Every structure is written in structure tokens, then in C-alpha cells.
Amino acid sequence: MRKLVYVAVAALLLLARFGITNAASCTSTGADFQVLNAVWGNSTQHVQAGPGDMGVPLTITMENYGENCPLNDVEGQLILPRGFTFSNSSEYQAYHTPQVSPFSTFTMVFYLNIAKNISTSPNMLEQFYLGLSWFYQNNTVPTSQAFYVGVPMPGAASLSYTAGSAQLVPGLNNLTITLKNGGSGYAYDTVTRISAPSGLSVLNQPEEVGALAPGESKNLSVYLYAQSGTTGVPVDLSIGSYYTNPYGYNTSADAQLGLYIEPAPQDIFIYPSNGTLVAGEVENESITVMNSGSLPIRNVSVLLSPQTPLDVLGKNGYVVFSYIPAGSSISFPVTLYSQPSSTFTVDTMDASLTYTLDNQTQTASRTLAFLTPGLVNLTQTSVTVLPSAPTIGSIFSITATLNNLGTTAASAVSVTAFPPHGIEPEGGNTTFMGDMAVDSPTAFTLSFLAQSGIKPGEHTIPIVVSYSNNLNQRVSETMDFAVNLSQGTYAVGSGSTHGSGFQGATGTAAQGAPPPGFIVVLILVTVVVIALLHRRRGRDGRVREK
């Protein structure tokens, strides 16, 4: 019996020891932090920051890697170097978070103004001073730690465009466009794409610009074809550039250039209603003859002579009109067919006109031009959503296969998702698919996070598919993808990511779990109790035998 008492006392002392040690660990001074990174922008979108910018968010990410217990009332105070001020005009700004779990990260966001005379360079780091303070559990005395935070200051790129001439003439034009970087940082690997409205065609795209320093300009050469019949009107040339900004992020810039197509110096015009034909398809076209002079013309005859690979079908290659008043026009139908070709992108047709003007017979020759892009038909052939029934708070992916069912290849194919509010792209919303030849199925995958605030049910995600045809014309079309979100079950806590239910600390017992010593004591007490019960049963048996 005396041995049993000794064992029980030892077990209680061991239990008390483990309990005291676990409580003491929450008031120790072993916490430690490190700066993971400092970026301009927030956790979902990075931005450029340069001299003269106002109210730019600076996000500093910290890691707590040296403490086994939560830290309370963690506060970070940022001290700014010369040339930087807080957007709220205060001398200092503090960021406060009520609790930081062990082995976790947290972010602090400060909104800053940047002076116009701040220096920038590609590899420049501006040193900020950060003071961090916190309280341990059951402790009223704060603990502090100081850091130097390197903030990148490579500047901000800003692209603009200027046309060498705002005047175009009917036919072929060689237009010079000046690309200038008016910002304070470099623009890298700039790809510029140009598109034009109907009647004006872009025959080539500018070359890629490797690096454009602050204040540097680069001349881009572009060939434009102005069709007859579109003269005397203003046109807008659309320009878009994709480049890597000084911080290494993909960025875009766009603009509109206003141009004017001068009228041709002649009294009679002939032009098609639509200057584009799809190679390999029969096209019903309309040809217009316009008398732009001050006198009427009579006995007008028109003979159309198409050049290979263009054909005029039927009997509409020759027409006659008796009278066209001054300042008026008349149209006639014509059926055209362009043979598919990998060589020709502009088909031509000669028009010979004979008419009577002021009792005198006149003749004129005109050339009609048609752009003949090949047919690109990108069709969705399959789509898969994984998981098939995604839940709110989880990540899901959409994989779709596209096939080109047209007659010519599509180049530089890309897909860009524009999800509704509450569904966020993971790893970017754009995927580059490259070139797609005819009948060459190609798949793409985009991933998304269904945020916790979104309602369950079916949601539509529009995805824009963009490509260039054989005329370097940029074409876009939208495909809608449906996803059905269910409520599901998930938990978000310290150390969890995107709704993962796992929560705990690495290399130590999670907070609130019994310490290993408690389990050992519980086993010892159980063994002692079982031994006593067996001993008592044996004694009772001997008594009964007597």
C-alpha cells in the first residue's frame, strides 16, 4: 500500500511539472520576426510606384517563426526616409493586428506619397525603418523588435504614342508611330499591336522593343491600306502595348490615334460596300459608282475584270446605267469568290468605266482592292471543371479544348477570364496558347478561388479568346463557362490557406492540446488502478476459501 501511495504522489508531481512548463512557454521571450518582402500594391494586385505618385499602398509581409504561443496586440510603426510622407499627413502611421499565431505570416499596409525629386534606378532599394511591438499572454510589459525594410524603387514606366502624320491617302501608306517612355522607370519587352476600323487595313505589326529607358523614344513602321470609297473621313487607329514594367510584372497600355484619309482628286468613284472577303466563301457584294462632279453623267458602262485568285460569278461583271445626277451614286450587286491561298492577302479587280460628260465621251480606270483573310473558326469542343462540384472557399479549375475549324491558322491565341465578383483568378487571369493550325485541338486551364462571401449556385465566367488572323488583324470573341458552387464545409484559421480545414503549429503541440507529459501521467495512474483492482480480487478469493 505504501508503494502505491509513492507512485500516485510521483504521478501528481509529474502532472504539475508538465502543466507549469506549458503555461510558462506562453510568457517566454523567444518570439522572433523577419521581413519576408515589401511590395507596392496590395496582396492581390501589384502596382508601379514612382516620383510624384500619391496614396500608393506599400505592403510589408512579416513572419513570426520563433514562438510557441499567440502574440497579442501586435503593432508595427513605420518611420519614413526623406521624400516619403503618409497620405493622411500624419508624422507616423501604425498598423495594428489583435493577435498573431505562431509560425504564421501577416501583412501591414501603409499608404504613402512619393516626392517628385525621388531618385530611381532598376536595382535601387530605399531603406525604411519598422518598429514592431507585441504582448505575450499573461504579460503586461510589451516586447519590441526593429527592422530595416528594403523597398524597391525602380520607378514607373509610362508609354505614349505619336503619329508621324495624321494624313493618309487612298491605297498604301507607310505610317511612322513614335513610341515614347515618359515615365521614371524602364519598360521591357514591349509588344505593340495595332488595329483599324473598316476601310483601313493594317498590313504588318511593329517589331518588339527590347528595353525602353525613361525618356527614350522608338519609331515603329506600320503599313496601312486605305480602301477606295473611305476617303474624306476621320478614322481612329487603336494601339495596344504589352510590356514588363520595372518591377517585373506584365502591364498593358493603349491609346487611340486620330487620322484622316484625304479624298482622291477625281470626279468619278467606284468602290465596294465591303472591302473584305473571306477566302473560300461566296460573297454577295455591292459595287457603287459615284458622280462627285458638278454635272450629270450619262450612258455609264462598267466592266469588272478580277485578278487571280478572285472570280466574279454570274453575269454581273458588266453593267450599264443611263444617267447618274451630279453628286449622286448608283449601286449594283455582284457575286465574288476568292480562292483560298497562303500567298495572297489582298485581291484586286480592275474596273473600266465609259460615260458621257457634257456631250463628250470619257473613260476611266480604277482598281478595287479587297482584303481576303482566311477563315478562323475557334470552336469549343470540350470543357471540364475540377472538382466537378466545387465548394465555396475552395480552388477549382476550368479546362477547355478549342479546335480551329476554319481554313487558316490563328496566331498568338490567348484566353483571358473576367470572373464575377467573389471568384478570383489564381496565378493570373490570362493564358497564352500560341499558334493554332487548322484542325489542331489545343487545351487551356485556368484556376479560380471561390471566395467565402459568394452565394452558392450557378455562376457564369466569361472567357475572351483573342487571336490574329493571316492579316495580323486582332480578333476577339467571348465564350461563357458555367460553374455550380455548393456551400460545402471549410474552416479558415491561422496557418490555413484558401479554406483548408487544417490548423496547427509545426514542431510543437498545437495550442489547447494536452502536453505529452499529461498523457504519460494518465497511463501511469491507469496502470496503478488496474493493479490495485487485481490485488483486491485475489484477497477476496482467499477469504471466501476459508
Q: What is the pLDDT of residue 69?
A: 76
pLDDT at 67: 61
Band of residue 30 on the pLDDT scale cut at 50, 70, 90 = low
**Of 29-33, 199-203, 517-521, which range is least confident?**
517-521
150-175, pLDDT tens digit by residue?
A: 999 999 999 999 999 998 877 788 99
- Given a cut of 50, whether residue 513 has pLDDT beyond it is no
Using the predicted structure, report yes or no on whether residue 501 has a pLDDT greater than 60.
no
Report pLDDT for 535. Answer: 59
Least confident of 174-178, 260-264, 539-543: 539-543
Phi, psi (deg, nearest 5) at residue 13: -65, -40
Distances (CA, A) of 481 to 380, 391, 451, 463: 11, 17, 18, 7
Answer whether residue 55 shows pLDDT above 80. Answer: yes
Helix (H, G, I), strand (E, B) or coil at 23: helix
pLDDT at 190: 96
Q: Which residues pair with 70 in a beta bridge?
A: none
Which alpha helices (H) appear in 134-177, and where do they start and end? Answer: none
How many percent of the chain have pLDDT more than 90?
54
The pLDDT of residue 526: 61
- Whether residue 309 is preceded by a cis peptide bond, meaning omega within 30 degrees of 0, is yes
Supply the pLDDT for residue 536.
Answer: 53
- pLDDT for residue 12 is more than 70: no
Q: Which residue has the higher pLDDT, 520 or 154?
A: 154
Backbone φ/ψ region at 195: left (φ over 0), alpha (ψ -120 to 50), beta: beta
- Model confidence pLDDT, tens digit, residues 59-100: 999 998 876 778 889 999 999 999 999 998 777 778 888 888
The answer to whether residue 434 scores a pLDDT higher than 70 is yes
pLDDT digits (tens, 9 = 90+) for 307-346: 988 999 987 789 999 999 988 999 999 999 988 765 667 8
Instruction: Please tell me the predicted confidence (pLDDT) of residue 13.
Output: 32
Residue-level pLDDT at 44: 79
Reported confidence tier of residue 453, pLDDT bands at 50, 70, 90: confident
Average pLDDT of the chain, as a whole number: 82
Residue 120: pLDDT band (50, 70, 90) is very high
Task: Kindly tell me if the per-residue pLDDT of 461 is higher than 80.
Answer: yes
Q: What pLDDT score does 80 carry?
A: 93
| DSSP assignment letter at 441 | -
- Res. 465 pLDDT band, cuts 50 70 90: very high
pTM higher than 0.85 for the full model?
no
Cα 270 from chain centroid? 45
Mean pLDDT of 510-516: 43
Q: Are 173 and 452 in contact, with CB atoms under 8 Å apart?
A: no
Distance CA(207)–CA(204), nearest Å, equals: 9
Q: Are strands 346-357 and 430-436 parallel, antiparallel or unpaired?
A: unpaired
Within 8 A by CB and 6+ apart from 421, the residues are: 454
Residue 432 predicted with pLDDT over 70: yes
pLDDT above 90 (res 15) = no
Look at residue 541 in the predicted model and tell me its pLDDT.
Answer: 46
Do residues 352 and 319 touch, judged by C-beta distance below 8 A?
Answer: no
> What gap in Å lies between CA 111 and CA 50, rounded to an integer?
14
Say if residue 14's pLDDT is above 70: no
Helix (H, G, I), strand (E, B) or coil at 444: strand
Which contiguous run of DSSP H or E holds residue 528? helix 516-545
Minimal CA–CA distance to 330: which of 314, 340, 319, 339? 319
Confidence band of 470 (pLDDT split at 50, 70, 90): confident
Q: Which residues pair with 324 in a beta bridge?
A: 297
Model pLDDT, residue 372: 83
Q: Return the percentage of the chain with pLDDT > 70, whole number.
A: 81
- 8 A C-beta contact, residue 92 and residue 86: yes
* Bigger pLDDT: 48 vs 263: 48
How many helices (H) and strands (E) are present in the chain, helices listed first?
A: 2, 33
pLDDT on residue 275: 82
Q: How far is Cα 412 from Cα 208, in angstroms, rounded to an integer?
A: 14
Q: What is the pLDDT of residues 249-258, one digit of tens each?
A: 999 999 999 9
Considering only residues 514 and 60, tell me which one the structure prediction assigns the higher pLDDT.
60
Q: Would you say 270 and 301 are in contact if contact means Cβ atoms under 8 Å apart?
A: no
Q: So what's the pLDDT on residue 293?
A: 83
The pLDDT of residue 292 is above 90: no
pLDDT exceeds 50 at position 183: yes
Sign of the dihedral through C-alpha 113, 114, 116, 117 = positive
What value does the mean pLDDT take over residues 5-26? 37
d(CA 396, CA 374): 37
Q: How many residues in total does the chain contain?
A: 546
Q: How far apart are CA 524 and CA 502, in angstroms?
A: 32
- Residues linked to residue 517 through DSSP beta bridges, in sequence order: none
What confidence category does residue 545 fall into, taking pLDDT thresholds of 50, 70 and 90?
A: very low
Concatenated DSSP letters for 38-105? EEEB-SS-B----TT--SEEEEEEEEE-S-SS-EEEEEEEEEPPTTEEETT--S-EEEEEEEE-TTEE
